[in-house]
Structure 1
Amino acid sequence: MMEIMEGSHAVAEIVKRCRPQVVSAYPITPQTHIVEDLAQMVANCELDAEYITVESEFSALSACLGASAAGSRVYSATTSQGLALMFEVCFNVAGMRQPIVMTIANRSLGAPLSIWNDQQDSISLRDSGWLQFYAEDNQEAADLHMIAYKVCEDHDVLLPAFVCFDGFILSHTYEPVDLPSQEEVDAYLPAFTPYQRLDAEEPLSFGMYATPEYYMEFRYEIDQAMRRAKEAFIRAGREFGEQFGRDYSALVEGYRLDDADTALVAMGSICGTAKDAVDEMRDAGRKVGLLKIRTYRPFPGPEIAEALKGVSTVAVLDKNISLGNGGAVGTEVKSALYGSGAAVYDYIIALGGRDVRKRDIAAVVDLAEKGEGDMFYGLRTEVL
């Protein structure tokens, strides 16, 4: 049923329909509305789950880890400094192969303190073993939670996932969202069947001490599971499309790329602005397109190379910075396109929630086509 609702409420509603058995989270702007809603649903007996209140984000994810190890479907949400406080536990969750789904309402990291949007928080945990999915709008944010559970809980994957959507830009914006009924979600997402769980009758040990003779093999297995997650996502996205009419079987999504000479590459809500900018440039006779990355982990390198085959200039819009090197997405896109002949330029943009307008996107294209790139776009040089 189509409803106009705030992004955070849409996420809470779809999470409820995914039937998590345990929810634990600590409130932090701009994630708070999600877990407020879920806490209210549990209190009103609308969601049959245990809601564990805790004193910090570290405790929240620790509680989720224990609940998942005991065999429950688990959910959490956080952002920014809260995710940073979870750093140690994030590695433990992935290393113990627990299929937890966690929403990230993307927000800048301090210092200086900022409550506004960029993608530095989730990008900073790109190597933790969590799948990372990025939503362009609130419909995609809701849908990706269903897909995330299906992929995470696949016994060929068994990894946790971040479902990332831009704080405030999406989390606090009202948009039309088509929410499937409980019966429809149940038909798509079956009840959780843990691969293994803690059981006093059949004791197991999770996350034990590993000597040098064994540690590397554990990391190898996580890497292989991450690679298998590609096919699992494609299957889950295709099944979603067959049932709901919105196909998510592509790890990347092209927009007006067929005859493009120049391509923008981006993730998240900035893709909506980029599409409008592309339309205006197309109307002016410029052959520009957009490639949206939906899954940052696993990284769709071959899919990017295929989608941008024949493009001469690529401009990556990075809402993060790997300090001293460049944008994280740009670095990996350059690797994916190495040897293709395309000129790839990286633009650090919109950090700390700075506005990006269509004219800014067009200006980035101008810079890329002139061969000027690998820069912070829009710096206020007068304050440096």
Structure 2
Amino acid sequence: MEYKPIRKVVSGNYAAAYAVKHARVQVVAAYPITPQTSIIEKIAEFIANGETDIQYVPVESEHSAMAATIGASATGARAFTATAAQGLALMHEMLHWASGARLPIVMVDVNRAMAPPWSVWDDQTDSLAQRDTGWMQFYAENNQEVYDGVLMSYKIAETVNVPVMVVESAFILSHTYDVVEMIPQELVDEFLPPRKPLYTLTDFDNPVSVGALATPNDYYEFRYKLAKAHEDAKKVIKDVGKEFGERFGRDYSSMIETGYIDDADFVFMGMGSLMGTVKQAVDILREEGYRVGYAKVRWFRPFPKEELEAIAESVKGIAVLDRNFSFGQEGILFNEAKGALYNTGERPLMKDYIVGLGGRDFTVPDVKAIAADMKAIIEKGELDREVEWYHLKR
């Protein structure tokens, strides 16, 4: 399909706000927190200018923002909110309610390091700390993927009835401007029709209760069904990503985007904006004779185990880049990847590099230095250590 995109120079946060408008979201519950605030400010501007009829609910905290979003979604509305770091942590209880009630909410989390010490810069620990809440998680590399991710997430969420968290980097994306190709409203409407909820609190001819008490036997079944929905979502994610590519020219049919895999000795694996730096470095490294590729994990939940297994079969090593850390263990993506490959026979050598915490710069020279280390590991045939705090002041 050929279409004429609407190109705008916008920040990642504004890209999210435009996607919310184009998705014809009906209710936004909002509470400000840096670096997320400009998302809800832009949405408020759309409402004030008469560009959308979104119902805007100002609340006193992030916990209330998610509670109001849950209430709106339970009535059948298409609902949205956004947050970051401490705000996401305050929502934690309500995230379980949203997924347990099978409500297809979409939320943007602007990755920000958790305090103390106070920080407003990029770090993935806030979103990854919510990995067991039952929410799907999509990590955007750039502003275009923020816009596309919100639109696709509504279609995916409303198909499997599981909420989605679209994750973007603080300041690297949220406040940095880039060209984003937006889709004409009529084409978005064709791709994303109005929500058709399974049940609503406002259907008085068919009354339901949400979140009522369940006995132990029944509770178990609810959890099984949510687990199965995550597994079913893998096919839906690929199908929706393929459809999006066929309609608009940007293909998301893989949960892990790869490059130069066919002849690579090892790959860099990571999530989010740092993978833009990795891609640039990989092009340079290949010119210098390195047989190296990349594997960008787009969807962390559900975890793309099958796609990772296919990558692992073709390479000797995987350098995992974690802009996060699970204290007492290791980087979270590294831990997940190791677990996914545990029963797959011979595994590639895997090393975890902890990078960029709290917004610490992660540059092309850093990637090149890690490549040299990984090459030496493969030539030696064994690891010197599994986890390295790459930026540690020595």
**Which of the five TM-score ranges fits, normalised by the shorter chain?**
over 0.9
**1:117 and 2:130 are equivalent in the alignment:** no
- Kept in 2, the 8 Å contact 1:318–1:349? The answer is yes
**1:305 and 2:309 are equivalent in the alignment:** yes
Q: CA deviation at 1:216?
A: 1.5
Task: Indicate which of 168, 172, 181 corresponds to 2:171.
Answer: 168
SS at match of 1:226: helix
1:15: which partner in 2?
20
Q: CA deviation at 1:336?
A: 2.5
Aligned length: 379
- Kept in 1, the 8 Å contact 2:267–2:315? The answer is yes
Distance 1:290 1:368 in 2: 13
- Kept in 2, the 8 Å contact 1:100–1:160? The answer is yes
Task: Indicate which of 9, 13, 20 corresponds to 1:4.
Answer: 9
Q: CA deviation at 1:58?
A: 0.5
**1:99 and 2:112 are equivalent in the alignment:** no
Taking the TM superposition and a 5 Å limit, the aligned residue runs for 1:29-40 are 29-40=34-45
- Kept in 2, the 8 Å contact 1:114–1:352? The answer is yes
SS at match of 1:228: helix
1:367: which partner in 2?
373
Taking the TM superposition and a 5 Å limit, the aligned residue runs for 1:131-146 are 131-146=136-151
**1:264 and 2:256 are equivalent in the alignment:** no
1:51 is matched by which residue type in structure 2? Y
Distance 1:347 1:136 in 2: 19
- Kept in 2, the 8 Å contact 1:106–1:165? The answer is yes
Q: CA deviation at 1:202?
A: 2.2
1:230-255 deviations in Å (ceiling 9; x for gaps): 11111111110111011111101111
1:79-126 deviations in Å (ceiling 9; x for gaps): 100000000000000000000000011111111111100111110000
User: Which region of structure 1 is more displaced relative to structure 2, 116-125 or 196-205?
Assistant: 196-205
Distance 2:198 2:317 in 1: 46
Distance 1:307 1:204 in 2: 45
Percent identity (aligned): 46
2:348: which partner in 1?
342
Structure 1: state its 5+ residue gaps.
none
- Kept in 2, the 8 Å contact 1:101–1:162? The answer is yes
1:196-248 deviations in Å (ceiling 9; x for gaps): 11133321111111222222211111100011111111111111011101111
**1:243 and 2:247 are equivalent in the alignment:** yes
- RMSD of equivalent CA atoms: 1.1
1:245-284 deviations in Å (ceiling 9; x for gaps): 1111110111111100011101001101001111111111
1:246 is matched by which residue type in structure 2? R
- Kept in 2, the 8 Å contact 1:80–1:108? The answer is yes
2:355 is matched by which residue type in structure 1? I
1:126: which partner in 2?
131
2:200: which partner in 1?
197
Task: Indicate which of 28, 52, 55 corresponds to 2:57.
Answer: 52
2:26 is matched by which residue type in structure 1? Q
- Kept in 2, the 8 Å contact 1:263–1:308? The answer is no
1:119 is matched by which residue type in structure 2? Q
1:329: which partner in 2?
333
Task: Indicate which of 275, 279, 285 corresponds to 2:279.
Answer: 275
1:82 is matched by which residue type in structure 2? G
Structure 2: state its 5+ residue gaps.
1-5, 378-382
Distance 2:207 2:314 in 1: 56
Task: Indicate which of 54, 72, 75 corresponds to 1:70.
Answer: 75
- Alignment TM-score, normalising by the size of structure 1: 0.97
Distance 1:178 1:355 in 2: 28
1:305-352 deviations in Å (ceiling 9; x for gaps): 112322101110011111111011101111223333311111111110
